């Protein structure tokens, strides 16, 4: 809440109500301080209401854009049944790892709660910390990549996902053998340079070659040592939580600073 009348102008600026900022300044210059002070509670209430409404509409828009399959939260996860590191999961919940260009891999068999945790972490980061998240079933993503390539629009999905703070790929390991996994490999190679990825899978790292086969950095056939699990061992550790390169961190930091500057100068788009 605003503490005094002088905070009103700052509140108006924060909400980008530029016309009202000018009008308020003019009223204060005309000696309206004593008159306006009596209505301070109303002004503060309206500013707070507008601020809350915008925040809620922004979250609703981001939730819709994230395409989570269902709503999940950490409160609904049974840590007693699924033996996972609760301390680590709670640490990941604020998505602060995205600021350091970290990636996360959740490995487990069917029914162990991988999708629940990935969804809950994504929703927590989005709703509580303003992170941009996009959820994809890996099969659906490969289908979309295949479709955009057939339409001559290859690269659009990669550009869109590169603007996210976190991309969640669910169930990497259930891809049909007839799917063009080279497209997925190529996308991951691009995202690695620009954003953060969270993957859920039933495969251990040693089994990732069963999905990607032998791919080089361009997603084409290559020698066995060129497969993703080996080439990306710096990022995807056996613990599933490692940092990317300094270059990746720098690019992500630059994107975050640019977004903050845009937020200060541009009016956010209305939810569709």
Buried/exposed 204-230: b ≥16 CB within 10 Å, e otherwise? ebeebbebbbebbeebeeeeeeebbbe
Which DSSP category does 223 fall into?
-
Cα separations (Å) of 53 from 15, 56, 202?
Answer: 11, 5, 41
Distance between CA 192 and CA 122 in Å, rounded? 18
2 token code pair: 């605003």
Pick the residue with more confidence: 62 or 25? 62
Distance between CA 248 and CA 121 in Å, rounded? 22
11-20, 71-80, 225-234, 252-261: which has the highest mean pLDDT? Answer: 71-80
Per cent of the chain over pLDDT 90 is 37
Side-chain-facing half-sphere of 137: CA atoms under 13 Å: 7
pLDDT digits (tens, 9 = 90+) for 97-120: 888 778 999 998 888 899 999 999
Phi, psi of 159 (to 5 degrees): -65, -40
Q: What is the mean pLDDT of residues 204-215?
A: 74
Q: Strand 102-107: give its sheet, edge to edge.
A: 133-137, 166-170, 196-201, 102-107, 241-243
Does residue 168 sit in helix, strand or coil?
strand
Cβ(133)–Cβ(62) below 8 Å: yes
Domain ranges (residues) in the chain:
6-64, 67-263
Smallest CA-to-CA distance from 188 within 147, 133, 229, 242 is with: 229
Q: Which CATH class is domain 67-263?
A: alpha beta
Per cent of the chain over pLDDT 70 is 71
Apex CA 197: angle with CA 103 and CA 210, to 5°? 95
Q: Which is it for strands 133-137 and 241-243: parallel, antiparallel or unpaired?
A: unpaired
Distance of CA 158 to the CA centre of its chain: 14
At residue 104, the pLDDT reads 92
Phi, psi of 7 (to 5 degrees): -75, -20
Distance of CA 113 to the CA centre of its chain: 20
Phi, psi of 57 (to 5 degrees): -65, -35
pLDDT reading at 259 higher than 50 = yes
Phi, psi of 91 (to 5 degrees): -70, -35
At residue 228, the pLDDT reads 35
pLDDT reading at 20 higher than 90 = no
pLDDT digits (tens, 9 = 90+) for 36-55: 666 767 777 778 888 888 88
pTM summary value: 0.71
């Amino acid at each position: 809440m605003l503490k005094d009348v002088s905070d009103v102008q700052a509140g108006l600026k924060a909400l980008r109500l530029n016309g009202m900022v000018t009008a308020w300044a003019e009223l204060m210059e005309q000696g309206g301080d004593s008159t306006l002070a009596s209505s301070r509670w109303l002004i503060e209430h309206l500013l707070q209401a507008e601020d809350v409404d915008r925040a809620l509409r922004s979250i609703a828009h981001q939730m819709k854009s994230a395409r989570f399959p269902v709503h999940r939260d950490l409160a609904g996860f049974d840590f007693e049944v699924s033996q996972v590191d609760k301390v680590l999961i709670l640490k990941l919940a604020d998505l602060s790892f995205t600021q350091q260009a970290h990636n996360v891999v959740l490995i487990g068999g069917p029914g162990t709660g991988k999708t629940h945790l990935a969804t809950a972490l994504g929703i927590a980061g989005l709703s509580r910390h303003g992170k941009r998240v996009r959820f994809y079933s890996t099969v659906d993503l490969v289908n979309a990549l295949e479709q955009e390539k057939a339409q001559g629009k290859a690269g659009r999905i990669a550009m869109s996902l590169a603007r996210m703070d976190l991309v969640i790929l669910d169930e990497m390991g259930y891809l049909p053998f007839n799917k063009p996994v080279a497209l997925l490999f190529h996308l991951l190679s691009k995202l690695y340079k620009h954003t953060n990825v969270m993957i859920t899978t039933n495969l251990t790292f040693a089994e990732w070659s069963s999905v990607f086969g032998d791919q080089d950095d361009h997603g084409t056939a290559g020698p066995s040592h060129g497969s993703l699990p080996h080439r990306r061992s710096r990022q995807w550790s056996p613990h599933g939580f490692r940092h990317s390169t300094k270059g990746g961190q720098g690019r992500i930091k630059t994107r975050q600073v640019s977004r903050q500057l845009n937020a200060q100068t541009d009016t956010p788009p209305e939810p569709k």
